[in-house]
Amino acid sequence: MNRLKDKVAIVTGSTSGIGIGIARLFAAEGAKVVVCGRREEKGQAVVDRIKAEGGEASFHFMDITSTESIEKLFADTAEKYGKIDVLVNNAANVALKDGRVDELTVEMWDAIFQSDMRGTFFTTKTVLPYLEKNENGGSIINIGSMASCGGDLSSTAYACAKAGVDMLTKSTALQYGKKNIRCNCVRPGLIVTPENEAHVPQVLKDIFLSNIMVNRYGCPEDIGHMCVYFASDESAYVSGQIINVDGGMNSHVPTVAQFREMNSRTW
């Protein structure tokens, strides 16, 4: 349980959902974890839970839409721990029903891009000088979305922003790889968390389960385990990769679920 021993990791948006799962697993593997977000009470609860489990963590306020807030997060973390090794860009505005192109306003578009694309860009830009100081560089892990895998009936701005995160991942990996800085992206599938479970209707779960290749939908720890790998030295030769952690949902032709219902393999 020491895969991340002595590493200092910042997990943005770790006061709920997937972020909590990542932060807890990082701490269990020996990392010093900075839990951050806008909700101090919830963030401190995550820190307290990690400490109760034997890990090391602290809370720092961060607003993903504020450049000043982001800069302070990294400066204070480096001052507290002496370095930064890992950044997980998890904070985002999940707007899965933002609408079609004709329904979106410019204000809606800008709000989603500010948190999901601009925020990820600026945290990445801000952490780079800290990672460059390390002899072994560091690891940046972006949390993308399967929404960027293809067109959909809605979620237009969200999908476009997350597609931008995919390309930011590749550009960062290329431009800073020779400085031992790696950058990879994890695309979650349907992840049911304690916060969203009551709001995920059974019909949606059924639709996903009919397309997922395994027998369940995901949980925060599924994403956390992949992030542990990307944060650890085990993935030292892995960079610029976009990995779907979706139970295999995006690995097959789109007609599979319907043919299963027909008890048929093909037409």
The string of DSSP codes covering 121-138 is HHHHHHHHHHHHTSTT-E
Distance CA 87, CA 239 (A): 14
Whether the predicted pLDDT of 216 surpasses 80: yes
pLDDT tens figures, 5-42: 999 999 999 999 999 999 999 999 999 999 999 999 99
Mean pLDDT on 77-86: 98
Mean pLDDT of the chain: 93
Distance CA 80, CA 193 (A): 31
Whether the predicted pLDDT of 95 surpasses 70: no
Domains belonging to the chain, first-starting first, are 8-197+218-253 (3.40.50.720)
Whether the predicted pLDDT of 43 surpasses 70: yes
Whether the predicted pLDDT of 93 surpasses 80: no
* H helical segments located in the chain: 17-28, 40-52, 67-81, 106-113, 119-132, 156-176, 202-211, 220-231, 256-261
How high is the pLDDT of residue 201?
Answer: 87
88 with 123: CB under 8 angstroms? no
Distance CA 95, CA 112 (A): 7
Q: Which of 130, 158, 176, 217 is catalytic?
A: 158
pLDDT tens figures, 185-201: 999 999 988 888 888 88
Q: What are phi and psi of 250, to 5 degrees?
A: -95, 20
81 is known as an active-site residue? no
How high is the pLDDT of residue 109?
Answer: 93
Strand partners, 143: 186
Answer with the residue of higher pLDDT: 9 or 265.
9
Q: Report how far apart, in Å, the C-alpha atoms of 3 and of each of 132, 142, 214, 237, 242 are.
A: 21, 20, 27, 16, 22
Angle between helices 40-52 and 17-28 (to 10 degrees): 30
